[in-house]
Amino acid sequence: MKEAGMNSESHLMTVENLSVTFYTPRGTVRAVRDASFHVDIGEVVGLVGESGCGKSTAALAMMGYLPSMTQIEGKISFEGNEIDQMTTEELRLLWGNRVAMVYQDPATALNPTMRVGPQVEEVLMHHLKLDKGDAYRRTVQLFNSVKLADARNIGARYPHELSGGQQQRVVIAMALACEPDLLIMDEPTTGLDVTTEATILDLVVDLKNQLSAGILYVTHNLGVVARVADRVVVMYAGETIEEGPVRSVFKDPRHPYTLGLINCVPAPVSTEHSAIELSSIPGSVFSASLEAEPVCLFSERCPIVRNLCTSEAPKLLDVDAGHRSRCLFWEDVRPGIWGKDVLRDEGGRSKAETLLFAKDIRKQYGNWQRKYIFFGPKVKPPIRALNQVDFSVGKGRTLGIVGESGSGKTTAARVVVGLIPRNSGDLQLMGQQMAYDVHNRDRDQQSALRMVFQNPRASLNPKLPIRHAIYRALRRFAGLSKDESRTKALELMEAVGLGPEYLDSPPTELSGGQQQRVALAGAFAANPKLVVLDEAVSALDVSVQAQVLNLLDRHQEETGTSHIFISHDLGVVRYVSDDILVLYAGYVAESGPAEQVLNAPFHPYTEALLSAAPIADPDAIPTNIRLEGTVPTMRERFKGCFFAARCPRKIGSLCDETPPPSQEDKANTGHIINCHIPLDELLEIQQKRIDKLSS
């Protein structure tokens, strides 16, 4: 088997044997060890791998953005010209003009003190030497090209006045200003809701077709790669370990790590796959602080490791046309090496006694404002967050809450735990009324409900070791002594898959997945009856996500704890949920058992969410249901259906003028759909669409 190679002269951008080493006061960090790949004109290349694998560092190296205290070895060339040989002036001409980058967090890429229009105009005037008028007109064209509504006026807004999806589209418009030949996108949809993500992915495909640009798409979401990429590059511990056409890599992976990542992804939303337990990759990524021996860096986690793997460093080998693998035994990579499919034990998922009951929950911020402060007509309504929301959570069951950003999911979660007092409505825990504010609840109710937030870093004190978060809950709610708390903390750390040595570590020394597991241990410490998880796995790698989801599943089975699980990933929601609540603009669109809510018939809004969800299968046929506009502002009032303005199945003035009736699926008790369209018509419409896709 011959070692793979590449001709840098024939590609738009080439990375050959790249290594990037940072020298920091805390030690040497080998962020990239041996990365090789290329990007051609008119193609999208997906760059995937766990956090700490060097994806973003490789992308920054391609831009020449790395700090001076960095050692770079290998070769990075753009159209045959080496990046590290260019002068600062040559790089400035390249940046934004020929090569542009879109960052993960648009809020940090935009100047908060400038309106977004002038920020794009500045790029045009600098690189293309356009005058103010021409730059303005070109900016409007760019905003239209990225499908920003009201393109002529949106430029007058500041970044904080835009949604996350709008901010990301502004950043993409800025990157496209000079029609670059290469566009590098670093996690541009992480944190966005599923409908906004679908719009951005559609835009990526359009950009490839319209501009014939090369696009490098960095992400840990395999569904996104399957949706937009032509080729995929897999990185592990700073090395390229597999590369090839996206279908070849997904359908016939030739490295154990790639196959492991694919196995970590929940199956597409359907009932037939719901009981298969997720596979996960044990251990963690080879540390960037360690110097590599001549071994396979994946050997400690590999299910097919041999003696040769621990005595020889593998090279990238050609295994098929355009398909390369850094594995000495790539021919032995096949389904089943990570273990057989295991059916989840769902015996405890039958209907159970109600633990939490919520009826007619309302939450609004502020009051009606009058024209002259204290008198005059009412001119501005309060901000509506939740409007007559009903739901319940059974003992030992999980309620999944889905919907776009601004739908009221997080507000519902915080109302339940008492961080935000509701305005009205009945909220009961085990038949007992719960006070509006957490401070007015007794000790038993406080300890019965715990919450895990999306960003674990923000919920852990960076100045204290992580044991503090666990000890405090144990001593406050379980009444344990100091010695008893340490013993119990060690048990909790083991339960979440972390060793005892982590107890004395500050949060800054832990990865995002490890921090999230610490947050879970802190939540479990009080032996809660209900754990509320608000986007707790949305930013995690697929392998860590699988570990956390299986951890929650095991803990629920062992203790009978109930969960409220909030996420925009419908595959994850289906995997963990027994019941689902679909929220839109503070209203309930649909609710019921998971296997019914996510299978026809369903509300048109649920249909749009399912249509937008990316699937980790390059053969999956994408549907074209896309919602125009954004979730209505919380000040808007609806005379008719709350979803009428964006509904692709709107049936006329009835939807605009009359609130939708609440319909119960007679074939499935407890499945409620709030829509004017009769359920039999919804079923017929959706069945025709499903039949069309399958044919």
* Spatial CB neighbours of 396, under 8 Å, sequence gap ≥ 6: 348, 349, 352, 556, 560, 561, 562
User: Are 127 and 159 contained in the same domain?
Assistant: yes
CA-CA distance, 78 to 347, in Å (whole number)? 57
Say if residues 217 and 46 touch (Cβ distance below 8 Å): yes
User: Are 91 and 223 contained in the same domain?
Assistant: yes
Phi, psi of 335 (to 5 degrees): -55, 140
For residue 271, tell me if it sits in a domain: no
User: Are 637 and 577 contained in the same domain?
Assistant: no
CA-CA distance, 474 to 180, in Å (whole number)? 56
Cross-sheet strand order for the sheet of 383-394: 383-394, 354-365, 424-429, 432-433
Give the β-pairing of 354-365 and 317-320. unpaired
User: Are 551 and 460 contained in the same domain?
Assistant: yes
User: Are 43 and 137 contained in the same domain?
Assistant: yes
For residue 317, tell me if it sits in a domain: no
User: Are 542 and 664 contained in the same domain?
Assistant: no
Domain stops at, among 252, 278, 301: 252
For residue 290, tell me if it sits in a domain: no
* Spatial CB neighbours of 541, under 8 Å, sequence gap ≥ 6: 50, 51, 220, 513
What separation in angstroms does the CA of 499 have from each of 492, 518, 544? Answer: 10, 11, 16
Q: What is the 3-state secondary structure (H, E, C) of 600-660?
A: CCCCHHHHHHHHHCCCCCCCCCCCCCCCCCCCCCCCCCCCCCCCCCCCCCCCCHHHHHCCC
User: Are 549 and 469 contained in the same domain?
Assistant: yes
Q: Find the domain containing 478 and state its range.
A: 347-581
CATH of the domain at 499: 3.40.50.300
Residues linked to residue 590 through DSSP beta bridges, in sequence order: 582, 673
Domain stops at, among 525, 556, 581: 581
User: Are 433 and 535 contained in the same domain?
Assistant: yes
**DSSP assignment letter at 497:** T
For residue 302, tell me if it sits in a domain: no
User: Are 575 and 682 contained in the same domain?
Assistant: no
CA-CA distance, 451 to 469, in Å (whole number)? 13
Phi, psi of 341 (to 5 degrees): -60, 135
Q: What pLDDT was estimated at residue 319?
A: 93
For residue 93, tell me if it sits in a domain: yes
pTM of the model: 0.85
Give the β-pairing of 530-534 and 449-452. parallel
Say if residues 326 and 308 touch (Cβ distance below 8 Å): no
User: Are 520 and 630 contained in the same domain?
Assistant: no
Q: What pLDDT was estimated at residue 271?
A: 46
For residue 586, tell me if it sits in a domain: no
Phi, psi of 88 (to 5 degrees): -60, -40
Averaged over successive runs of 10 residues, the pLDDT of the chain (695 residues) comes to 55 93 86 94 93 88 84 90 83 82 83 94 90 94 82 89 80 86 86 79 82 88 91 95 96 95 80 66 85 91 94 92 94 90 61 89 79 68 84 94 88 92 93 92 89 80 88 84 88 81 83 78 88 84 84 87 90 89 94 86 90 86 76 77 92 92 86 94 82 64
For residue 168, tell me if it sits in a domain: yes
Q: Which residue has the tokens 């400038």?
A: 114
User: Are 600 and 570 contained in the same domain?
Assistant: no
For residue 358, tell me if it sits in a domain: yes
Q: How many domains does the chain have?
A: 3
Domain stops at, among 212, 235, 252: 252
Question: Coil, strand or helix: which one is 581?
Answer: strand
Cβ-based burial of 336 (10 A; exposed 0-12, middle 13-18, buried ≥19): exposed
Residues linked to residue 393 through DSSP beta bridges, in sequence order: 356
CA-CA distance, 94 to 96, in Å (whole number)? 6
What separation in angstroms does the CA of 104 have from each of 20, 163, 192, 412, 475? Answer: 21, 14, 10, 27, 39
Question: Coil, strand or helix: which one is 555?
Answer: helix
Q: What pLDDT was estimated at residue 176?
A: 84
CA-CA distance, 402 to 183, in Å (whole number)? 32
Cβ-based burial of 511 (10 A; exposed 0-12, middle 13-18, buried ≥19): middle
Q: Which of 8, 16, 10, 43 is nearest to 183 (CA)?
A: 43
CA-CA distance, 464 to 177, in Å (whole number)? 46
Say if residues 152 and 203 touch (Cβ distance below 8 Å): no
Query: Which H or E element spans position 188?
Result: none
* Spatial CB neighbours of 374, under 8 Å, sequence gap ≥ 6: none
Cβ neighbours, 10 Å, residue 347? 7
CA-CA distance, 566 to 94, in Å (whole number)? 42
Helix axes 512-524, 467-477, angle to 10 degrees: 10
What residue spans of 177-308 are helical by DSSP H?
194-211, 222-228, 246-251, 256-263
Cβ neighbours, 10 Å, residue 482? 9
Alpha-carbon Rg for the chain in angstroms: 26
**DSSP assignment letter at 46:** E
User: Are 409 and 509 contained in the same domain?
Assistant: yes
Q: What is the 3-state secondary structure (H, E, C) of 523-538?
A: HHCCCCCEEEEECCCC
Q: Which of 498, 497, 512, 552 is nearest to 530 (CA)?
A: 552
